[in-house]
Amino acid sequence: MQPRDTWYRTRNESDVDSPALLIFPERIKQNIMLLKSMIDDPIRLRTHVKTHKTKELVRLQLDAGISRFKCATIAEAVMLGECEALDVLLAYPLYGPKLSRFLSLKKRFPKTNFSAIVDNPEAARTLADAAMQAGMIIAVYVDLNIGMGRTGIQPGAEAMALYQQCEQLDGVAIRGFHAYDGHVHERDIEKRKVICARNFEAVSELVQQVQMAGLPKPEIIIGGSPSLPIYAAYPDVECSPGTFVLWDKGYADSLPDQPFLPAAVLLTRIVSMPDANRLCVDLGHKAVAAENPLERRVYFLNAPDLKPISQSEEHLVLEAPSGHSWKVGDALYGLPYHVCPTVALYDYLVVIEQGSYITRWAVVGRSRL
């Protein structure tokens, strides 16, 4: 991003308190159209809402013909139900109160078809028993661990046995396999293609075994943003990108093959100047995702030469070059390196259209209630 490109500047920035996360619907719409152009049929898109957690951004996708979604929390699932999304996969293991809360979604939002994942026999039985007691049948996907090492069962004999168990259990209806590959993020798309092909081979073998056992062909939901253009070329596969809608500095740098537009910008202000070449801005840990090293948390579009020195809950200290002209009260505009957890820090997104702040959209999916 060139510093002189001022698409992010807000004419009435004095009306926006800081820190704030600005979003740009015109760019978001372009990203949605670009996503649709990357696949043969939008029915094969199951976009993840964890990035934005916002009803208005769900509705922009619904208006564009995207009707299937993936989420990670009950709050996100509620948001999708309230938007009357057609098909929603909660891609997170269901235990404890989450299980009963998930079952309540089906009663509360009858227009939405909710499904879940399972990755071990006990989880499948527990879900099936709870569904039977509630008089329901829950659609499920066997969650596969294809290298992420987080959730999922290893592809192979145990995964096949779990699939067959789900097929026989009352209370659940097996639909297919789910596999997330968030560990695959090589910059070179050719290297990504090789890794994705290897990962998919194990999934494909399971699909063949299921069909050889006389069962219907399983659905496959696979991948995230880095593997999107690869799996989009595979037939009969649902793709689950999420970050595309807002994009961020991290993916803009690491995925040059995907020309999505950054559509979320942090607005922060200089609140103090502890010495001649140090600026303190109101962009602490509570305002931008802080899991990356300090130098990879925010990139200032209008001040790329500022160097982060330290960060605490409410403050970010920057080093400015000698002879700079910055002063207390000046606004800085920054791209977050990781937009998904950054969005989760805000109650509202500040909507910028035609260069001006016009309204706010609630980040309803960040709630844990």
Q: Do 87 and 69 meet the contact criterion of CB atoms below 8 Å apart? A: yes
Mean pLDDT, rounded, for 269-282: 97
pLDDT at 202 over 60: yes
pLDDT band at 2 (very low <50, low <70, confident <90, very high): very low
Backbone angles phi and psi of 187, in degrees to 5? -65, -40
The Cα–Cα gap between 252 and 174 comes to 37
Say what the pLDDT of residue 368 is.
Answer: 77
Nearest to 246 by CA among 129, 361, 89: 361
Ramachandran bin of 8, using left for φ above 0, alpha for ψ from -120 to 50, beta for the remaining angles: alpha
Residue 58's DSSP bridge partners are: none
pLDDT at 4 over 90: no
> Please, what sign has the CA dihedral across residues 13, 17, 22, 25?
negative
Residue 45 has what DSSP assignment? B
Q: Where are the beta strands (DSSP E) in 55-149?
A: 68-71, 87-90, 113-118, 138-144
Q: Which two tokens stand for residue 35?
A: 């996503």
Helical segments of 118-174, H only: 121-133, 157-168
Q: Do 162 and 143 meet the contact criterion of CB atoms below 8 Å apart? A: no
Mean pLDDT, rounded, for 90-115: 95
The Cα–Cα gap between 173 and 149 comes to 26
Range name among 2-16, 156-170, 263-277, 347-361 with the lowest pLDDT average: 2-16
Mean pLDDT, rounded, for 92-104: 95
pLDDT band at 21 (very low <50, low <70, confident <90, very high): very high
Q: Which two tokens stand for residue 363?
A: 């980040």
Residue 140's DSSP bridge partners are: 116, 174
Interval 299-327: pLDDT, tens? 999 999 999 999 999 999 999 999 999 99
The Cα–Cα gap between 349 and 369 comes to 20
Residue 264's DSSP bridge partners are: 23
pLDDT band at 5 (very low <50, low <70, confident <90, very high): confident
pLDDT at 93 over 90: yes
* Amino acid present at 213: A
Say what the pLDDT of residue 277 is.
Answer: 95
pLDDT at 3 over 50: no
Say what the pLDDT of residue 291 is.
Answer: 95
Classified as helix, coil or strand, 194 is: helix
pLDDT band at 67 (very low <50, low <70, confident <90, very high): very high
Q: What is the pTM of this model?
A: 0.95
The Cα–Cα gap between 160 and 338 comes to 36
Interval 122-147: pLDDT, tens? 999 999 999 999 999 999 999 999 99
Nearest to 66 by CA among 259, 234, 257, 245: 245
Q: Do 60 and 32 meet the contact criterion of CB atoms below 8 Å apart? A: yes
pLDDT band at 1 (very low <50, low <70, confident <90, very high): very low
Q: Burial letters for 251-282: b for 16+ Cβ neighbours within 10 Å, e otherwise?
A: bbeebeebebbbbbbbbbbbbeeeeeeebbbb
Classified as helix, coil or strand, 100 is: helix
Domains defined along the chain, listed by start: 13-20+263-364 (2.40.37.20), 26-244 (3.20.20.10)
